[in-house]
Structure 1
Amino acid sequence: MEKQQGLIASDQLRVIIGLGKTGLACARFLQQQRINFIVVDSRESPPELAVFRAEFPLVQVYLGGIPEEVLSRAAELIVSPGVPLTEPAIANAKAKGVRVIGDIELFGYYCDRPVIAITGSNGKSTVTTMVGDMCKAAGLKTGVGGNLGIPALSLLDRGFDIFVLELSSFQLETVDTFAPTVSTILNISPDHMDRYPSLMAYHQAKQKIYRNCKAAVSNKDDALTQPLLPQQIPHVMFTLREPDLKEFGVIEDDTDGGTFLVKGQDRLLSTRELKVVGLHNYANALAALALGYQAGLPVEAMCSALRTYKGLPHRCEWVAEKNQVTFINDSKATNVGAASAALDGIGSEIAGKIILIAGGDGKNADFDILGDLFNQYCRYLVAIGRDAKPLLAVGRSAGVPGEEHDTLQSAVSKAAEMAQPGDVVLLSPACASLDMFANYEARGNEFCQWVKELVND
């Protein structure tokens, strides 16, 4: 694969900072390119250490800190997304002229195929997999990954025709020359406020996805997603309202009560044809259609992929139903914006109310944003984890009763007890999981386990 402009000479030293999944992918890629590197991690026992030492027994590894003298000798630092660029050793090296990049910038140096790049506070995994399915339905050999699943560098050299990448704000902090074919920010809501000093700083990191893109998609209903681009860059918007001529949106047909996803006034498909439900999923489908359109995918292939798309685990995932009460796992809702989307999307479509299980590590988020949705859609709030009490306080202010539980098992039991026919018991935590669980998947799996025991009892 031919090198792109901007690369540092292969005999100059790279330092990979962080030995998780991304750091390991970077190491494997640099070795394939015969580029010298060493690895640094502030942890004594990073998650991929054993695998790394088995594969790279001769590569030097520094653990338990980030030594400044090592970083200052490097031509380039390849920083994993979980490592803040404000780390003093990294900031000092950068100030001395050491180049600081991440895995996505490195991917961009070597990628010579179209890239659809997707970010946002919520829905990015769903939209990424939707667009991936659309590309495959169009007959393209498609690499799907990034922040979702397979690290981007691990997708190179596999003969893919096109790449669809989910990108986090952390990954976007370190991009400079990365130039996607199509870019989007789906939405912006407060997240990672434990890493960013303000919503504006978080917003600025997300906006870097548009920097060098050849075409853009944005959310007309969210002003913070609008790109600042030259007029000649093609730009399409999507909306959950009736769209203008060149936009993607929703129209209601009063003759049969149907709702349709459209481009301008051209109907693409009925929401009844979708297997995923809720307004937030209609927005996800519209975003995917707009991205596919900008990438030149056939409409027939895009609609075919949406008709068969079943959604992802832990994202408004149907688990079970008992006594006309539905149980839904939305453990991936690790921030306030994601929980808001689930509450609004589900609450607006059911006859009953929502019994919400929420809580965990709130990452300094403002839970007051949820108050109106609690009042409108919730019957009862079962709170767990580190930030259970502030969530319950917001619930009380919104007129929604609730109580705190120490375990997810007892929370599920209480939620089922409070539910009435037509209600939904929804796990949508609005918080990270690491105060109680290994990750959001473990939290969602445990929820499913207790629900299935309950309904089979």
Structure 2
Amino acid sequence: MAKDAFDLVIGLGVTGHSVIRYLADQGMPVRALDTREAPAGLDDLRAEYPKLKIHAGGFKSGWMKRARRLIVSPGVAVSTPAIAEQAAEGKEVIGDIELFARAASRPLVGITGSNAKSTVVTLLGEVAKACDAKPGVGGNLGVPALDLLREDAGLYVLELSSFQLETTYSLNAQVASILNVSQDHLDRYAKFSDYVAAKQRIYDGCQVAVWNRDDLATRPQNPAPREVTFGSHPEAHYRLDAERQVLTCQGEELLRLDELALTGHHNAMNVLAVLAMSDALGFDRATALATIKVFKGLPHRCQLIAEAGEVRWINDSKATNVGATLAALTGIGEAIPGKVILIAGGQGKGQEFSPMGEPARQYLRAALLLGQDADKVADGLAGVPCERVADMAAAVARARQLAQPGDAVLLSPACASFDMYSGYTARGDDFTARAKEVTGG
């Protein structure tokens, strides 16, 4: 390495901070920049690393040119001209997951998908823990991947976003899975096929590919050494038999749906994916099944937060794309005797909402729409009674008026939240608090 060479970390969010910690631990020369004038945590970072050179408020061309490699956070598009220019000149452009993959010495499970990846990663982590595999669980969820290297893990279970996979070249996972693919992040990708291609990178160098037999976009485009499938398709290895309401493996009954704490067919698919990966990792199946039965899910992901007057109130604020809302709407609509009152809307990220139309007409009593792209969501729900509401308080109050015994009030926005909230967690917390007010807690 040249005497004045350094790594340049671009983006000072949670991931960028973890990269700086990792490189500092390695004794590597590093500098950092962020296009924001005052990124969150900047003062703390400067206090922790007083000698670290940091530039805020844009790209510093001199640093970009002199850096030996660019380590780009997932929130920053590699197509950004200042970054793309350096890549075109042959400079290495990678992300935190590539650094992790080069350093990790334990088996790795990589999981991606448009929806449900946090639930599947968490549940697989719980299974691994119950089987004494000492899992390190994180990535796009929870603990940044590089911070997991500080733990004494026997196995890594990583949630990976398409943005992270764009800058990853040597993952070589023991088990890799794309759970599902639906329109998302079309504000960042020129076309849907580019988004799918980013997801497909998770299979590069993997030993076992676990994919969704109901969603051919999840199938490895290049054959993996071993492939295992899940879904409701008759040829799926791990299958939801909806008629019998059971989960099977090669015809062998594993679980009845009424044994699960999770509800809805979409969650049954998540369980199948976990079972397929658990078996591929050689975990004890009885222990896995026992763990799965008691798993109640994650906050803001189809979370039952109140029930009163035979009406369920469900927080699915994490549903920031159409595919996630479709899964929740269908899964819950099939599971309740009444209808669904849907609260949706926000920043649509360039999505097409018409795929929600048919199931909405089947399962919805009404849709209460708020936020920046409420009108676009309404266009996609043609034939469904839609009302615009000013905010979450108005949505919850109106939902209470509309709901009948047997119904469910579902916050599943199909949109990002940043037009009204700091993130989906704040949106879900607002819904939860207001739902508990109108239901008496």
State the TM-score bracket (shorter-chain normalisation).
Answer: over 0.9
Q: Using the alignment, how far apart are the partners of 1:27 and 1:217 within structure 2? A: 33
Q: Structure 1 residue 297: deviation in Å? A: 1.4
Shift in CA distance, 426/230, structure 1 to aligned 2, threshold 3 Å: closer
Q: Structure 1 residue 240: deviation in Å? A: 2.0
TM-score (norm 2): 0.98
Q: Structure 1 residue 401: deviation in Å? A: 1.1
- 1:366 alignment partner, one of 349, 352, 356: 352
1:249 aligned to 2:239? yes
- 1:280 alignment partner, one of 266, 289, 306: 266
Alignment-mate amino acid for residue 131 of structure 1: L
- 1:267 alignment partner, one of 249, 253, 261: 253
What aligned pairs does 1:63-142 form with structure 2 within 5 A after superposition? Answer: 63-142=56-135
What aligned pairs does 1:265-344 form with structure 2 within 5 A after superposition? Answer: 265-344=251-330
The alignment-based identity, stated in percent, is 46
Q: Which residue of 2 aligns with 1:187?
A: 180
1:229 aligned to 2:231? no
- 2:429 alignment partner, one of 415, 439, 445: 445
Q: Structure 1 residue 229: deviation in Å? A: 3.1
What CA RMSD, in Å, does the superposition of the two structures yield over aligned residues? 1.4
- 2:152 alignment partner, one of 144, 154, 159: 159
Runs of at least 5 residues in structure 1 that lack an aligned partner in the other structure: 1-7
What aligned pairs does 1:379-398 form with structure 2 within 5 A after superposition? Answer: 379-395=365-381, 397=382
More displaced 10-residue stretch of structure 1: 401-410 or 16-25: 401-410
Q: Structure 1 residue 393: deviation in Å? A: 2.8
Q: Which residue of 1 aligns with 2:21?
A: 28
Q: Which residue of 1 aligns with 2:200?
A: 207
4+ long deviations beyond 3 Å: 8-12, 241-244
Q: Structure 1 residue 67: deviation in Å? A: 1.8
Q: Using the alignment, how far apart are the partners of 1:207 and 1:426 within structure 2? A: 32
Q: Using the alignment, how far apart are the partners of 2:91 and 2:37 within structure 1? A: 25
Alignment-mate amino acid for residue 171 of structure 2: F
Q: Structure 1 residue 10: deviation in Å? A: 10
2:326 is paired with a residue of what secondary structure? helix
Q: Structure 1 residue 9: deviation in Å? A: 8.5
Q: How many residues align?
A: 441
Shift in CA distance, 422/16, structure 1 to aligned 2, threshold 3 Å: same
Alignment-mate amino acid for residue 248 of structure 1: Y
Q: Structure 1 residue 364: deviation in Å? A: 0.8
2:245 is paired with a residue of what secondary structure? strand
The answer on whether the counterparts of 2:75 and 2:163 sit within 8 Å (CA) in structure 1 is yes
Q: Using the alignment, how far apart are the partners of 2:379 and 2:400 within structure 1? A: 22
TM-score (norm 1): 0.94
Q: Using the alignment, how far apart are the partners of 1:10 and 1:334 within structure 2? A: 46
Q: Using the alignment, how far apart are the partners of 2:287 and 2:96 within structure 1? A: 31
Shift in CA distance, 267/66, structure 1 to aligned 2, threshold 3 Å: same
The answer on whether the counterparts of 1:336 and 1:365 sit within 8 Å (CA) in structure 2 is yes
Q: Using the alignment, how far apart are the partners of 1:122 and 1:160 within structure 2? A: 26
